[in-house]
Chains A and B, each alone.
Chain A
Amino acid sequence: MPDSRANRSLIAQLLVLVVGSFSFGVFLLPPLYDVFCDITGFGGRTNSEAAVVAEAPDLTREVRIEFVTSLNEYAQFEFAADADSMTVHPGKMYFATFTARNLSDESKVAQAVPSVAPNTAAGHFTKIECFCFTSQEFQAGEKRPMPLQFIVNPELPDYVDTITLQYTFFDTARLAANTEN
């Protein structure tokens, strides 16, 4: 073929494009998505490590916090908030307690994954201390309270009067089993 050099350089460019778009999908999009969620609170993303926030209570404003809990289908646990909801002042620190019980007759490791709705509130809901920061080990049949300490940022947009905090409880053994496979 007379123009095989032209062909080869075009093929090389196209292959770079192929590798580029594969890398974009696998290596670039997931971390970018993470950063995007952290910044915008998209997907109800909240802080995943302990944070220190100074208190500045705004006693003129009240916000209702609702707690919702659910179990992943593989998790043999009982898991619920001790109170379904509470009313808080922005800028003031509060405690809430959840209780979990291992329903199986073997020890289990569980992980709670939080999500906050609406998304616009996610960045203003700061967990000072949370049982969701680390995985939790439960002996067979063990029942114990799980503490949460949080503060709602006074800069929470005015139109938000209710924040829903949702926890899903996962049995991490399934993850571990996957790794062993």
Chain B
Amino acid sequence: MTAAVADAHDHHDDHGPAKGIGRWLFSTNHKDIGTMYLVFSLIMFFIGGAMAMVIRSELAIPGLQFVHPEFFNQMTTMHALIMVFGAVMPAFVGLANWMIPLMIGAPDMALPRMNNWSFWILPVAFGILLSTLFMPGGAPAGGWTMYPPLILQTGDAFPFLIFSVHLMGLSSIMGAINVIVTIINMRAPDMSLLKMPMFVWTWLITAYLLIAVMPVLAGAVTMLLTDQFFGTSFFLAAGGGDPVMFQHIFWFFGHPEVYIMILPAFGVVSEIIPTFSRKPLFGHDSMVYAASCIAFLSFIVWAHHMFTVGMPLTGQLFFMFATMLIAVPTGVKIFNWVATMWRGAMTFETPMLFSLAFVFLFTIGGFSGLMLAIAPADVQYHDTYFVVAHFHYVLVPGSVFAIMAGAYYWLPKWTGHMYNETLGKAHFWASTIFVNITFFPMHFLGLAAMPRRIPDYSTQYADFNTVASIGAIGFGLSQLLFVWVLLTSKKGEKATAEVWDNPPGLEWTVPSPAPYHTFETPPKLNESHGFH
């Protein structure tokens, strides 16, 4: 493999990273910004996780023990907002910042100053959101979906909630524009669109989804704001509006949003599984078409989140079948990953373990999604713990495991050292066991009709809730192992440029750690990088 980057000695006049805090505040370097996104999302993951611990402690046994019901509802609302917008989305943007330029042979992101801006909006947005916990009336407690009229009863926190959502949207839109411009205009000369690695492809599609739906969310929350303060009646029935319309607009954003959180995860595991199976990705182009199909279908299935609001039969049928149709392209992806592994010389390093768990556990979440798609059955499942089990299966062992897999996979490229494999595997096994102990019993609770977002429950639900709470505490503590891995990540042996056994992709042609500036001259693609 040829070193695509000139030796660092040739660049004596070139500036490295700036010194001190200024390096981070004013950075326009995709690697620095990627690192900041990832660290930020890890911090949010622990803050949101701490809220989950409050929720599960309260639910460990029947009755009210630790917190006031109103505070419990603030916890469920804030946990969701922080995990969705603060942990999962920024983590994928961080991976995109770090890896997309390296994967397509670009020197940096196309719009480096905007990149800095889109990151630094996030701490402000979440500072505002977290500050609502200390306001009169407390943090928002009406659920992350912000349905009116309930959400309009939020205290002083209400306008802060709206503005923080605006800022998150602004940050995502700027990040998405940056990703698209980078991918479209800055690829290495011989990299045609269909030669792009899957992670780049899934991010290109995700970025378009973001641009299409984040403004719709911004619009929906703006209408909430004007309803509350400027006398409009978009969602107020007394003034001729309709609260159900909010649900339609919200889920028109909300359903593509769930694919925003999973498509980059598909991309990450599509990079990892070929490396550790020592085979090229099976059906690369069909993966691209499948991801595009999923993106398109995500716009026409939103009302399956609201089967119980009352809908004409034809509407229910349409949304039911359109939703089930998504299982087809998703199935294509699952089968392609399995086919990639088929007769491969597989090894099971930590990134591969997380990817395998992703494929298996995400599929479980996909199947419970199919059950929820059945309109008549959904009337039973709606707003129960079955829904909680479903979306946690696709988000935790789905998105979060893919992020973890990506972090372990590229960590040696970032730090220049191998992480502690034993600790990594311990982190994997603890996470996988506890995530199932946490969320699997929730299926049973949901089928027995335990409602979501309630701090207390009937005693018949007691045992499964105790099991879930034990699992949740275990899962939360296991994540400290990941922090330990990160803190000790520079103590391992030096990583080679390739890190793994002949992995595909241009990112492995630069030294480890990746120099501050890479690909100042565009690389040539050849077969040894996995391009044909």
Interface residues of A (CB under 8 A from B): 1, 3, 6-7, 10-11, 14-15, 17-19, 21-26, 29-30, 33, 37, 40, 42-44, 48, 72, 111, 113, 117, 119-120, 168, 170-172, 174-176, 178-179, 181
Cross-chain contact A3 with B185 (CB below 8 angstroms): yes
- Taking a contact as CB atoms under 8 Å apart, the answer to whether A14 and B215 are in contact is no
Q: A14-B181, A18-B215, A178-B228 are in contact. Are A43 and B244 (CB under 8 A)?
A: yes
CB distance from A21 to the nearest CB of B (A): 4
Bound CA–CA A3/B244 (angstroms): 47
Chain B, interface residues (CB within 8 Å), range: 35 or more
Q: Contact at A25–B249, with CB atoms within 8 Å?
A: yes
| Cβ–Cβ contact B234 & A170, under 8 A | no
The residues of A that contact B186 with a CB separation of less than 8 Å are 3
Q: A25-B220, A40-B312 are in contact. List 11 more A-B contacts (CB 8 A).
A: A3-B185, A3-B186, A7-B110, A14-B211, A15-B177, A17-B211, A25-B219, A29-B252, A37-B242, A72-B238, A175-B236
In whole angstroms, what is the CA distance A72 to B238 when docked? 9
B111 at the interface (CB under 8 A from A): yes
Residues of A within 8 A of B238 (CB): 72, 111, 113, 170-172, 174-175
The distance in angstroms between the C-alpha atoms of A17 and B222, with both chains bound, is 18
- Distance between A145 CB and nearest chain B CB, rounded to angstroms: 22
A117–B310 contact, CB under 8 A?
Answer: yes
Q: What is the CA–CA distance of A3 and B212 in the complex, to the nearest angstrom?
A: 25
Pairwise interchain contact B211-A18, C-beta atoms closer than 8 A: yes
Contact residues of B: prevailing secondary structure: helix
From residue B21, how far is it (CB to closest CB) to chain A in Å?
27
Q: A33-B242, A168-B237 are known contacts. Are A10 and B180 too (CB-CB below 8 A)?
A: yes
Out of A3, A11, A26, which one reaches B219, CB within 8 Å?
A: A26
Q: Is B477 an interface residue when CB atoms closer than 8 A count as contact?
A: no
Interface residues of B in 488-513 (CB under 8 A from A): none
15 of the cross-chain contacts (CB-CB < 8 Å) are: A11-B181, A14-B177, A17-B211, A19-B215, A22-B218, A23-B219, A26-B222, A33-B245, A42-B315, A113-B238, A168-B237, A172-B238, A175-B233, A179-B231, A181-B229
Q: Check A21 against B185 for contact (C-beta < 8 Å).
A: no
- Contacts A22-B218, A119-B312, A172-B238 given; does A7 touch B181 at CB 8 Å: yes
Q: Given A21-B211, A175-B231, A178-B231, does the pair A11, B177 have CB atoms closer than 8 Å? A: yes
Shortest CB–CB separation between residue A115 and chain B, in angstroms?
Answer: 9
Minimum CB–CB distance for A57 against chain B, Å? 28
Assembly CA distance A178 to B148 (angstroms): 15
B248 and A33 contact, CB distance less than 8 A: yes
Q: Which 4 A-B pairs have the closest CB atoms?
A: A25-B219, A179-B231, A170-B238, A22-B215
- Given the interface pairs A14-B180, A22-B218, the reply to whether A30 lies near B173 with Cβ below 8 Å is no
Q: Which residues of B contact A170 (CB under 8 A)?
A: 237-238
- Indicate whether A7 sits within 8 Å of B211 (C-beta atoms), given known contacts A24-B216, A26-B222, A172-B238: no
